[in-house]
């Protein structure tokens, strides 16, 4: 296992991070089995574990907390805050009020006194960035977290946060967690170069492109839209949808390339993400032991320039075959009131 420094913090993390979104009711509800998967990853050199308070409504954090008993000092533990954790107002977001409540709940579920990396899961334009950064800075000074980062932030939000921190004498985001894979390379044009310039660590998620880079979905084969992820979001898997057809075309070529290398498609996909110089660690999100073992087989795979050039021909750098659905959308694109002048102003003009 290779290790890299996390965003100038001096903390060494494995080049592959164990993501735990699939542990709990949203994936594997068997706690004992999930714990075995976590232990297997640690035994193979993974020392970086990523979760979030909203994964299975806190259940993922509980599983991780149980799994790390007796091994906590050897693990770099990351979790996140932002999404609602209950009904009613003020139970989510990036306000000081919510962050200070949420971190205590995460610490309790994780059975630990500190969190190594606490991440803001998404931007929140209802909350001033200074308010968020000040709350996180206080948590570092209190010893409850060691560092903090962002997730799915667009490049301009990352730059704004950097300048706010400098101007106000606050600690800054040390990491960014974006979706990134062979089929979704858009962040190569802005997010990744920005992180490099600011000295931030990058831990990427979705290396298998919603399952398309597992080889499970192939051109010309029947895709069962009533099972698994396809049942939850059939529009992302229906081969009659042009963007899905485009993904399947690229997958066929990637399978051929992987075969030439004597590797599987998942191994090739994960190695591609790890090859980018901005990427510190690739988050793997297995649900079962078999999936973990399949993904970790690629840990030793290093792609040479010839292979990377072949991939560039299939999916040009900085382009998306599909738009990563988990990326944040600017408020003016989702709220019409923010892009239309009041009728009175328009009448006056």
Q: Which residues are catalytic?
A: 55
Residue 8 near residue 195, CB atoms below 8 Å: no
- Identify which of 122, 111, 29 has the alpha carbon closest to the alpha carbon of residue 77: 111
Rounded alpha-carbon distances, angstroms, from residue 109 to 22, 57, 83, 100, 267: 17, 11, 17, 15, 33
Residue 315 near residue 185, CB atoms below 8 Å: yes
| Tokens read off for 341 | 């002048």
Rounded alpha-carbon distances, angstroms, from residue 252 to 180, 236, 243, 338, 341: 19, 18, 15, 43, 48
Residue 74 near residue 14, CB atoms below 8 Å: no
Q: Give the bridge partners for 13, in sequence order.
A: 4
């Amino acid at each position: 296992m290779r290790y890299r420094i996390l965003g100038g913090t001096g903390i060494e993390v494995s080049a592959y991070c164990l993501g735990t979104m699939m542990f709990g009711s949203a994936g594997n509800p068997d706690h004992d089995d999930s714990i075995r998967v976590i232990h297997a990853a640690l035994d193979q050199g993974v020392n970086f574990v990523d979760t979030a308070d909203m994964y299975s409504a806190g259940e993922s954090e509980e599983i991780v907390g149980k799994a790390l008993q007796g091994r906590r000092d050897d693990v770099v533990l990351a979790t996140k805050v932002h999404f609602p954790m209950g009904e009613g107002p003020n139970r989510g977001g990036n306000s000081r009020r919510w962050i200070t409540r949420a971190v205590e709940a995460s610490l309790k579920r994780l059975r630990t006194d500190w969190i190594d990396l606490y991440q803001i899961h998404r931007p929140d334009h209802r909350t001033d960035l200074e308010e968020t950064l000040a709350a996180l800075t206080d948590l570092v000074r209190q010893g409850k977290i060691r560092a903090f980062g962002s997730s799915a932030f667009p490049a301009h939000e990352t730059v704004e946060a950097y300048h706010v921190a400098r101007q106000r004498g606050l600690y800054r985001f040390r990491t960014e967690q974006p979706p990134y894979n062979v089929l979704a390379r858009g962040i190569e044009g802005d997010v990744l170069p920005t992180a490099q310039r600011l000295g931030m660590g990058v831990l990427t998620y979705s290396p298998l492109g919603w399952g398309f880079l597992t080889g499970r979905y192939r051109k010309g084969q029947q895709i069962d839209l009533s099972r698994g992820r396809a049942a939850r979001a059939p529009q992302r898997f229906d081969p009659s949808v042009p963007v899905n057809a485009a993904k399947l075309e690229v997958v066929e070529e990637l399978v051929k390339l992987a075969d030439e290398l004597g590797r599987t498609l998942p191994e090739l996909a994960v190695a591609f993400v790890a090859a980018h110089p901005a990427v510190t660690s690739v988050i793997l999100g297995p649900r079962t032991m078999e999936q973990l073992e399949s993904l970790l087989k690629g840990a030793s795979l290093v792609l040479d320039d010839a292979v990377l050039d072949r991939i560039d021909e299939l999916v040009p750098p900085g382009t998306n075959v599909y738009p990563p659905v988990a990326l944040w959308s600017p408020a003016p694109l989702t709220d019409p009131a923010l892009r239309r002048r009041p009728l009175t102003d328009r009448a006056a003009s």
